[in-house]
Amino acid sequence: MKVEGWLFLGCGIFFGGSDVVYWYLSKDPTGTTALALAVALAVLIGFYVLFTGRRLPTRPEDNPQADIAEGTGEIGFFSPHSWWPLFVAAAGAVAAAGLAIGWWLFLIGMLFTVFASIGFVFEYYRGHFAH
């Protein structure tokens, strides 16, 4: 996880330099604040990944002498045929459109988002594919 952590910290340094140059050339407080938040987010993620990576065992990706076969095995369970991500995205789109159109549509979109998220989370607890 060292590579990922240093990559995020490098992005934070790049965004920091870009932020200083942007502020000096434009004096725009909105863009400067947005870039400062990007710096903070990149440094936060980089620090977290490096801090967590020290506590975990070494991965095959972190060992330059590792064989490809060391990285084999089960990674996790991925749903092969779920429709719920489509419903969550559509409900989120309705909620986002509600921010531009009106609060009534935003509330309807949030209600749909809650129902779609519940369906997505509990998809494998009921019906034909229940565990």
Predicted pLDDT of residue 20: 96
Task: Give the pLDDT mean for 30-54.
Answer: 95
Are 113 and 92 in contact, with CB atoms under 8 Å apart? yes
Predicted pLDDT of residue 88: 96
Model confidence at 22: pLDDT above 80: yes
Q: Left, alpha or beta for 27 (phi > 0: left; psi -120 to 50: alpha)?
A: left
Predicted pLDDT of residue 129: 66
Model confidence at 94: pLDDT above 90: yes
Model confidence at 127: pLDDT above 80: no
Predicted pLDDT of residue 72: 83
Residue of 126, 24, 50 lying closest to 84 (CA atoms): 126
Mean pLDDT, the chain, rounded, equals 91
Predicted pLDDT of residue 81: 82
Contacts (Cβ under 8 Å, ≥6 apart) of 112:
87, 90, 91, 94, 95
